[in-house]
Amino acid sequence: DTEVTQTPKHLVMGMTNKKSLKCEQHMGHRAMYWYKQKAKKPPELMFVYSYEKLSINESVPSRFSPECPNSSLLNLHLHALQPEDSALYLCASSQGVAGNLQGEQFFGPGTRLTVL
């Protein structure tokens, strides 16, 4: 299985809602990532988990809260978002983050989030 899956595919939420995005991989990868992508822009890194521990937070606002329950799952909890948070949220995984690994990241199809 060489796939990263994400649910839901689309999400519309109000600014007072709480929702979660989910990501799953069964490739035995030990690093997982959340990216945010606005239209016509490259992905921007938000968080990196390595061996289920948060290793990088790119100064993301606290209304985004990541969670890694186990090595195959990654969640992104959303609360009190703003309309400017509307974007495609991409999950990715890689073998690990050690320097001697090729480090290629495999991406899921993304969740298209709209905040009203």
Nearest to 8 by CA among 30, 29, 25, 23: 23
The footprint of other proteins on residues 21-60 (CB under 8 A) is 31, 40-43, 45, 48, 50, 55-56
Nearer to other proteins (CB atom), residue 92 or residue 113: 92
Nearer to other proteins (CB atom), residue 101 or residue 116: 101
Residue 25 phi/psi, 5-degree rounding, is -140, 145
CB of 32 to other proteins, least distance (A): 11
Tokens of 13: 């939420």
Nearer to other proteins (CB atom), residue 66 or residue 108: 108
The footprint of other proteins on residues 73-102 (CB under 8 A) is 90, 92, 97-99, 101-102
Nearer to other proteins (CB atom), residue 10 or residue 70: 10
Q: Which residues lie below 8 Å from residue 13, measured CB to CB, with a gap of 6+?
A: 19, 78, 81, 113, 114, 115, 116
Estimate to the nearest angstrom the gap between the alpha carbon of 106 and the chain centroid. 12
Contact status, residue 59 vs residue 45, Cβ threshold 8 Å: no
Binding site for other proteins (CB under 8 A): 4, 6, 31, 40-43, 45, 48, 50, 55-56, 90, 92, 97-99, 101-110, 112
